[in-house]
C-alpha cells in the first residue's frame, strides 16, 4: 500500500531524502520544506520519480 518516494530540492535539483506515502490517500505529489546540504538552507523538496 505504501510506496517509497524520493524528494528533490527545488533549487539545485539534488535528491536528498526518501520517504513513504500512501498513494490512495495522497494521489498528488508531496512537498516538504527540508534542509538541503548543497544549498545550505531550508528549501522546498518535492516528490520525484
Using one digit for the tens of pLDDT, what is the confidence trace for 2-48? 999 999 999 999 999 999 999 999 999 999 999 999 999 999 999 99
**Does 49 score more than 90 pLDDT?**
no
Number of domains making up the chain = 1
pLDDT of residue 1: 83
- The rounded distance, in Å, linking the Cα atoms of 11 and 13 is 6
pLDDT of residue 32: 96
> CATH number, domain at 26?
2.20.28.120
Domain range for 37 is 2-48
Give every strand in the sheet of 15-22, ordered side by side: 15-22, 2-9, 41-48, 31-36
pLDDT of residue 44: 97
Amino acid at each position: 500500500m505504501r510506496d517509497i518516494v524520493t524528494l528533490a530540492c527545488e533549487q539545485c535539483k539534488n535528491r536528498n531524502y526518501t520517504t513513504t506515502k500512501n498513494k490512495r490517500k495522497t494521489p498528488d505529489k508531496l512537498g516538504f520544506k527540508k534542509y538541503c546540504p548543497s544549498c545550505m538552507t531550508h528549501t522546498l523538496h518535492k516528490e520525484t520519480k
